[in-house]
Every structure is written in C-alpha cells, then in structure tokens.
C-alpha cells in the first residue's frame, strides 16, 4: 500500500502538549473493528468493555532520562546527547547534537565531571558510539543529570517527570514511553483485577525509531527499527491459558502488540518465554496470531503505528474514526486521549 493512503488532516492545536492532572480523565473512543461503529466514552469506561477471563497486557518498560546536556572538553562547546541503546557495559549508541563537533576520540563532560563520555565511533545521521565513565551506579547518575526525552512534537517542558512514566514502569531501557499505558492508575488497575481480568506484563524497550517518518512511498519497502523485548515463562503460560479458555487478549499499546505478535508469529500462535530484538512491521494484510483488541493513543499521519491499528481493523474504518476524533476535538499523541479497538 502507499504511505499516502494513511494520511489525514490534523490541526496542530489538537496535539496535546501537557498531560491531564488525572491520568484517567482522558476520553476514550471505542471502535468496533468489524462494524466500524464508534462510541465516545471516558477512559474509566474501559471497565465495562473488559470481561472476566480476559488478559490485559501491559508493557512495563521504564523510560530513561536519556537526554543529557554536556560540554566538549577541548572547546567548551555545548553538546546534547540522547541515549538510544546500550551496546555493552558502559558503551551506548547515541544521537549527538551538533554531531559535527564530536569526532572519534572527543570527550564530553556532564554535571561538572560526574559523568564523562568518549566518542569511540562515528555513525550516520548524527549517531555516535560513546563510552561513559562515572562513579557509582550509572542509572542513579542518569537520574540526577538526565532529562526525559519527550517526543519532538511536544514543545512544552514537563513539570513532573513521572508523568511520562506509566505507574507500573519497572524495567529500565526505553527512549520513549509506551504512552497508551499512561492512562492507568493503580486504582483503575485494581478495579480491572477485581472484575476477573488478568493483568500480564511484557517488556519492550521503545526506540526513537517510533518517531521517525516513513520515508518510502510503498509500505512494502519500509524497514522497521529494532527494539528489545522480553516475555517471561509465567506470562507466556497465562496468555496461552486465557486464549485456550476463550478469553480475549487486550494489548495496551502498540509495543505490547509487537511483543506478543513477534513471538506468536514464530510459534504457530503460541506464546513462549523469549527475549531478543524485533523488527516486526504490522500493516494491513497482517493476520493477528494472538491479540484480539487494543487500547492505544491516536497516532501520527502516515506513521507505522496508524498502519498497525489499520491492520487490526480496516484502513477506511480507522481513517473514519480519526476524522471523527478531529471533529470531536480529541487530544492526539503521547499525552492525548485513547482509543479502544475491539
């Protein structure tokens, strides 16, 4: 299909710049993936769409405060570093701005020397392999010196860094939040559990490729970025049992879907304990192996994520729903409203 087929008009003022005070206060559009019927609800109404014996699958990745501001040791130039992926030990793949100032062998200092980085290798598009030096525990140093790497379409500063973390975030490693999960509170999750819905966690560390534009004309030619995922044996067994008993698997966010479908695609629809790197690209024509329904936010025009949700339903139904969202002034993207496709 053509990337242009997934375009829609989005007024800039509908891009949510700040999170709501109450995580659960957002709106919820409910889309019947077969009939295309649309309902306008509130997020707490998700309770009435989840049934005893269903599985709610959440991504427990934790966003690193991965944006660092430093100084080039030799010249005093200001340098911004964004951590992308841990390679080995203290070596990370990063994005550096301005990249032309950081060549192989250059040193950057952060926080008056609490953290230093040496450039080991130059990559394309501003990528650099950096080796970090510090005392103590790296993630603790990062918590002190780093900032949340908010998406490029959010222009406002975040007053409370925790609002770009889910309440159940646990596994350090993401360059971006699995934003569909931002709508949940401990209280809402307790109510969902009390209804007999099983809460199951997977891990997928979100890469910045999530925000990269699709730069091909035909979706067939798009290559996905690679992201690390993990599913435990207990989680795999619980999902398999729920499927066997006729329960529905409801994924929270496209990252949960990518984890489950990566594994199910390799094992004839079954889930097994597994970890690794996935480049799965889900677009119309894909047959889902395990996931039945999805809670997600509203996505960028012409993005891989709107292609994924179109695969779960139908491109025309999704675009109709998105146009309805624009007309009804739903809030879009990371801090925006939610959609339930079932």
HEC profile of 290-316: CCCEEEEECCCCCCHHHHHHHHHCCHH
Strands (DSSP E) contained in the chain are 27-31, 38-42, 55-59, 61-63, 67-72, 78-88, 91-97, 107-110, 115-122, 127-134, 171-174, 198-204, 227-231, 249-252, 274-278, 293-297, 338-341
Give the pair of three-digit tokens for residue 335: 């801090």
> Which residue has 């698997």 as its token pair?
249
Degrees, nearest 5: CA angle 252-255-259: 105
Give the pair of three-digit tokens for residue 243: 């499927």
Within the chain, residue ranges assigned H as helices are 138-145, 186-194, 233-244, 254-266, 304-312, 315-327
Helix (H, G, I), strand (E, B) or coil at 100: helix
Per-residue pLDDT of the chain (342 residues; tens, 9 = 90+): 899 999 999 999 999 999 999 999 999 999 999 999 999 999 999 999 999 999 999 999 999 999 999 999 989 999 999 998 889 899 999 999 999 999 999 999 999 999 999 999 999 888 999 999 999 999 999 999 999 888 888 888 888 889 999 999 999 999 889 999 999 999 999 999 999 999 999 999 998 666 566 778 888 888 887 899 999 999 999 999 999 999 999 999 999 999 999 999 999 999 999 999 999 999 999 999 999 999 999 999 999 999 999 999 999 999 999 999 999 999 999 999 999 999
- Residue 212: its pLDDT value, please? 63
Helix (H, G, I), strand (E, B) or coil at 279: coil
- Residue 84: its pLDDT value, please? 86
CA atoms of 258 and 255, how far apart (whole Å): 5
CA 44, 50, 53, 58 torsion-angle sign:
negative
Structural contact between residues 107 and 73, judged by C-beta atoms closer than 8 angstroms: yes
Structural contact between residues 283 and 1, judged by C-beta atoms closer than 8 angstroms: yes
């Amino acid at each position: 299909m053509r990337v242009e087929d997934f375009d829609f008009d989005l007024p800039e003022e509908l891009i949510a710049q700040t999170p709501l005070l109450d995580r659960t206060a957002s709106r919820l559009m409910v889309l019947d993936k077969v009939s295309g019927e649309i309902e306008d609800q509130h997020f707490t109404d998700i309770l009435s769409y989840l049934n005893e014996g269903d599985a709610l699958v959440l991504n427990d990745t934790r966003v690193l405060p991965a944006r660092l501001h430093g100084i080039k040791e030799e010249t005093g130039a200001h340098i911004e570093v964004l951590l992308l992926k841990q390679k080995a030990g203290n070596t990370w793949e990063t994005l550096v701005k301005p990249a032309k100032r950081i060549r192989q062998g250059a040193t950057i200092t952060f926080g008056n020397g609490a953290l230093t980085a040496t450039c080991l290798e130059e990559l394309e598009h501003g990528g650099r392999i950096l080796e970090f030096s510090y005392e103590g525990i790296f993630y603790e140093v990062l918590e002190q010196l780093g900032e949340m790497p908010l998406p490029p379409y959010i222009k406002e500063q975040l007053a409370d860094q925790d609002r770009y973390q889910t309440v159940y975030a646990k596994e350090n490693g993401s360059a971006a939040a699995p934003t569909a999960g931002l709508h949940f509170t401990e209280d809402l999750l307790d109510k969902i559990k009390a209804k007999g819905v099983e809460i199951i966690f997977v891990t997928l560390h979100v890469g910045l490729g999530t925000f990269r534009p699709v730069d091909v004309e035909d979706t067939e030619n798009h290559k996905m970025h690679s992201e690390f995922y993990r599913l435990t044996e207990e989680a795999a067994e619980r999902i398999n049992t729920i499927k066997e008993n006729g329960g529905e698997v409801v994924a929270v966010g496209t990252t949960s879907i990518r984890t489950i479908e990566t594994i199910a695609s390799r094992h004839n629809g079954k889930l097994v304990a597994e970890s690794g790197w996935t480049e799965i690209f889900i677009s119309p024509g894909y047959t889902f192996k395990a996931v039945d329904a999805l809670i997600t936010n509203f996505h960028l025009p012409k993005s891989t994520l709107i292609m994924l949700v179109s695969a779960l339903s139908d491109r025309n139904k999704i675009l109709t729903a998105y146009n309805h969202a624009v007309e009804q002034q739903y809030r879009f993207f990371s801090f925006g409203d939610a959609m339930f496709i079932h």
